[in-house]
Structure 1
Amino acid sequence: MGIDDIRPKADEIASLMAARFGGVRRGQQADLDSMLRRRGGALPRRLRRAARLLAEADRVAGQPKLARQVDFPQFERAYRALTGYLGPLGRRIRWQDGAARVAASVALGLLALVIAAGVVAWRRLA
């Protein structure tokens, strides 16, 4: 565990929060700090403290002298607690939502293909 691991872990927690609680537009990636402002209240109090610790570590990760002051064992405990809470809950629902999105895009593509074929057939008859 080092300074280079701070940013990816904070981004992972932010994406887990976005997947579980929402608050991010489709195609956008929010950072942990903005996710805490938007949906931080949905976390339990002890996990909110852990998320604030991760956000603070993420903020100082760009400055090497300050990043060395991060308490890495405490950071790792907070990361494990947050992934343990956010990861498994809602996994089935997230999978179902993903499958529904794929099915909807396939149906939309087929509908566009049928409409295009109908227009071509109508043009040939007219």
Structure 2
Amino acid sequence: MADEVSRLIAARFGGARRGERPPLSAMLRRRGGALPRRLRKQAWTLARADEMSAQPKIARQLDLVRLSHAHQALTAHLQPLGELSRWRGRAIGFAASVTLGLLVLAAGVIWIMLKRGHL
């Protein structure tokens, strides 16, 4: 569960190099501030449980229902914005900046032509 949330945080907010799969605690230190406070607390709970699950005796004592709810809440928040949506957003932003530049350039050319009396 923690690995999936870590992967989703890296995909949505960045913070991981290409090919790197940092643990959830590292991703929360890097980009945890981008999460809402309620989800940040649940993410830290999930990260602590991930670290404690390395010990089998402690892993059996973890509250799996609470961890499952935290996982569901985090994945529901992080999944809606997928890879295609992020790419599309970047493309739209780039196109908007190019369009704005062309509009400013056209306005400048028209202004210069008006000043010189060509129009």
Normalising by structure 1, we get a TM-score of 0.66
- Residues 52 and 59 in structure 2, CA contact (< 8 A), matched pair in contact too: yes
Within a 5 Å distance, the mapping from 1:1-126 to structure 2 comes to 9-94=1-86, 96=88
Letter in 2 for 1:61: S
Deviations 1:71-100 (A, max 9, x none): 111000000000000011244334659xxx
Normalising by structure 2, we get a TM-score of 0.70
Structure 2, unaligned stretches of length 5 or more? 90-119
Give 3-state SS (helix, strand or coil) of 2:69's partner: helix
Aligned partners of 2:36 and 2:66: how far apart in 1?
18
Matched residue pairs, number? 89
Q: Between the two proteins, what is the percent identity of the paired residues?
A: 56
Could you list the runs of 4 or more consecutive aligned residues of structure 1 that deviate by over 2 angstroms after TM superposition?
A: 89-97
Structure 1, unaligned stretches of length 5 or more? 1-8, 98-126
Deviations 1:97-126 (A, max 9, x none): 9xxxxxxxxxxxxxxxxxxxxxxxxxxxxx
Letter in 2 for 1:58: D
Letter in 1 for 2:15: G
The root-mean-square deviation of aligned C-alpha atoms, in Å, is 1.6
Aligned partners of 1:87 and 1:16: how far apart in 2?
7
Q: Relative to 1, partners in 2 of residues 1:40 and 1:91: Cα closer, same or farther, differing over 3 Å?
A: same
